[in-house]
Structure 1
Amino acid sequence: MNTTVVGAYPKISDEHQELRRALHKADRGELDDASLAVAFDEATEWAIGELADVGIDVINDGQIRWDDLLAPFAKAWRNCERGPLERFYDNNTYFRQPIIKGPIETDGQTLVRDFTFADGKLRGRAQLKAAVCGPLTFATLTAEDHHYKDLETRTLAIADALAKELAGLGAAGAKIVDVEEPALAAHPELIDLERAALARLAKGGVTVALYPYFFPIDKIIEKLDVPPVGILGVDARSRETSPKAIERLGAWKGTVSLGVIDARNTRIETPRETGELVDAALKQLRDERRLILSTTTGLEYLPHDVATKKLNALVDAARAAKGVPA
């Protein structure tokens, strides 16, 4: 049974402080952009090395360069920019809301260089996947829109831009692209708009792993079984009601990335706790090949030492599911 992670990895640890020092120097004008880019590359290599070495099967690049989930796209897309700070859902973290000044345009290369860099450094130690912000999340968190007339038009335009990003990543070798879509979990009433946006993403030609995290999605799981979604991220751990989603998995035809490790809680899951969730999911899916074990969201919300313990718990859960001693 394979394992994967979602979202951003902690950017620093007690031993690994180089990126923090580089950022401080850049803020003081003591480090140029080229040198800062090297620091980001080195931190990315460190992060993917940790993820691969602990035994995670499918990893991302740690999103070390990302200021927040929306930042890479708000920075790179034409007629977009980053605006005011806002709290990111119910987390103690903040992001900059996008401002849209005209029609969104992209060449689809926003993340290609970073993906290629990480893939080259991995050298086959794990499979590398890519990730993008979900269209509904970008659209609903936009602070100002001076071009599109309403949420639907904006969301679909963003989906078209993301389809180009997916195509670019696919051409660079990405087989799976995570679409991180917390807005759908926060606003399940927008499921029809999400489905329309997903149809636009199908033009990207890659397998989409859809992750609507932070809030329960049990009531909309069946409606997400649409192309190009081949993998659905399901949080089975972070809330008391989370396991209810497992009961709905019988209607899902694709692969499930089951969040058995709570990435926003410092408590380390026991083998018994993860095992019960895996057993319950397998009763619904009836095929262990359709089950991947994952974190519930990005490990960036945890201190690095706790994050590494969570990764070990995730790998142990997968080994236990295979009948291999931890």
Structure 2
Amino acid sequence: MTELVATTPGLYPLPDWAKDELSDLKGHQKTDLISGEEGGAIAETYEQVRAELIELQQSAGLDRIGEGQARWDDNLAHPLAVHENVETRGIVRYYDNNNFYREPVVTGELTADGDVAAELAAAAEQTDDLQAVLPGPYTLAELATDEHYGTEAEFLEAVAEFLATEAAEFPAHETLLLAEPSLVTNPPGDGLDAQVSEAVDAVAGAVDSDVVVQPFYGALEEKVYAHLLDADVEAVGFDLVSDHETNVYNAQEYGTTDSVGLGVVDGQNTLVEEPETVRERFDWFDEQVPASTFERAYLTSNTELFYLPVNKATEKLETLATAADLEEVEA
């Protein structure tokens, strides 16, 4: 039997009240939200948002509860954007959409700073089903500019070590989701594609939890996918919304990990899927990979949810939870 687990890649939309309040508090400007330096009122607002987002996930019935990443103004670039040895410079488009982030430029050694761990420690007080979220090492390296380490390979190794030291400080958690959209949008070339597996291993080895590597915005190139399967993780994911055919081809041709992450709800479209539709997407994938004996399938949105209005994001959480609770599935 395949266990179905409802979850998301995090990065939830801010509630309207929080947008207004934070806009006023920040003087309508983006600020360097280095951990512990936000100021009392801003920090308190983020604490309230975190509590609200966790309650939202719990009420929807998700099996894994994320912190919500309300402070991540720079999206997946956040862990570097708040680092003391990183300068944030110009505004850069976030993948192929109308969202933007500040370019993080690494100017010194990437030492651990405990920023994400502090967020998760606060979240752990509200749930025993905690899911940590980090950008994957390749994605974080691709979102940044290196002015310290030198080569692309050296920088990827440094970013992986940084994420590993960060993850080692996390409180107890059930799952660590590594979001790796850049593996799809700007795939690594020869040599670096093999190093990506080693980089993921470095991060996964730092935690005592189930690690899910979730690409999105399409499907991985064959060679990239094959190398990623060498990583010591529980699950490698597939974006079945953006490109189901190529993702299924990869699974058929190269196999899968023991468990899988499946992007079965559209994180960028306000149309809310029916739970039965979501289960049909899982069933279809399962039927197309007949040799599969998935221990677990993580049912998730195919991208982060910050693109959506709060009410639509909430409805999609409920859809995922309901889909996972429909009749049990034989692998």
Structure 1 residue 130: deviation in Å?
Answer: 0.8
Aligned to 2:325: 319
Aligned to 1:223: 227
Structure 1 residue 5: deviation in Å?
Answer: 0.8
Aligned to 2:80: 74
Structure 1 residue 272: deviation in Å?
Answer: 4.7
Query: How many Å separate the matches in 2 of 1:248 and 1:19?
Result: 41
Letter in 1 for 2:14: K
Query: How many Å separate the matches in 2 of 1:196 and 1:291?
Result: 24
Equivalent in 114, 118, 124 of residue 113 of structure 1: 118
Q: Does 1:295 align with 2:305?
A: no
- Structure 1 residue runs of 4 or more that deviate by more than 6 Å after TM superposition: none
Report 1:3-82 matches (<5 A).
Answer: 3-13=6-16, 17-27=17-27, 33-82=39-88
Unaligned ranges ≥5, structure 2: 30-37
Query: How many Å separate the matches in 2 of 1:20 and 1:78?
Result: 28
- For residues 188-236 of structure 1, the C-alpha deviation after alignment (integer angstroms, 9 at most, x for no partner) is 3442231231233244134321122112226243332233321222110
Report 1:78-117 matches (<5 A).
Answer: 78-107=84-113, 109-117=114-122
Aligned to 1:186: 185
Structure 1 residue 265: deviation in Å?
Answer: 1.0
The answer to whether the 8 Å contact 2:7/2:62 transfers is: yes
Aligned-pair identity (%)? 27
Query: How many Å separate the matches in 2 of 1:117 and 1:318?
Result: 27
The answer to whether the 8 Å contact 1:221/1:252 transfers is: no
The answer to whether the 8 Å contact 1:19/1:43 transfers is: no
Report 1:249-288 matches (<5 A).
Answer: 249-250=251-252, 251-283=255-287, 284=289, 286-287=292-293
Letter in 1 for 2:138: L
Aligned to 2:34: none
Change (3 A) 1:213 1:49: same
Aligned to 1:177: 176
Structure 1 residue 141: deviation in Å?
Answer: 2.2
Structure 1 residue 268: deviation in Å?
Answer: 1.9
- For residues 209-266 of structure 1, the C-alpha deviation after alignment (integer angstroms, 9 at most, x for no partner) is 11221122262433322333212221101x2x32431343351132111111010111
Query: How many Å separate the matches in 1 of 2:160 and 2:88?
Result: 18
Query: How many Å separate the matches in 2 of 1:25 and 1:2?
Result: 38
Q: Per the alignment, in what secondary structure is the counterpart of residue 168 of structure 1?
A: coil
Q: Does 1:167 align with 2:158?
A: no
Could you tell which deviates more after superposition, 160-169 or 130-139?
130-139
Letter in 1 for 2:314: T
Query: How many Å separate the matches in 1 of 2:5 and 2:28?
Result: 44
Change (3 A) 1:142 1:310: same
Query: How many Å separate the matches in 2 of 1:59 and 1:222?
Result: 30
Letter in 1 for 2:286: L
User: How many pairs were matched up?
Assistant: 309
Change (3 A) 1:164 1:92: same
Query: How many Å separate the matches in 2 of 1:315 and 1:260?
Result: 12
Query: How many Å separate the matches in 2 of 1:55 and 1:158?
Result: 34
The answer to whether the 8 Å contact 1:76/1:106 transfers is: no
Report 1:231-242 matches (<5 A).
Answer: 231-237=235-241, 239=242, 241-242=243-244
Aligned to 1:195: 197
The answer to whether the 8 Å contact 2:201/2:233 transfers is: no
The answer to whether the 8 Å contact 1:218/1:245 transfers is: no
Q: Per the alignment, in what secondary structure is the counterpart of residue 210 of structure 1?
A: strand
Aligned to 1:2: 5
Q: TM-score, normalised by structure 2?
A: 0.85
Query: How many Å separate the matches in 1 of 2:225 and 2:147?
Result: 34
Query: How many Å separate the matches in 2 of 1:187 and 1:78?
Result: 27
- Pick the structure with more helix per residue: 1
The answer to whether the 8 Å contact 1:181/1:211 transfers is: yes
The answer to whether the 8 Å contact 1:184/1:194 transfers is: no
The answer to whether the 8 Å contact 1:266/1:306 transfers is: yes
The answer to whether the 8 Å contact 1:255/1:291 transfers is: yes
Letter in 2 for 1:111: V
Query: How many Å separate the matches in 2 of 1:118 and 1:282?
Result: 33
Change (3 A) 1:27 1:228: farther
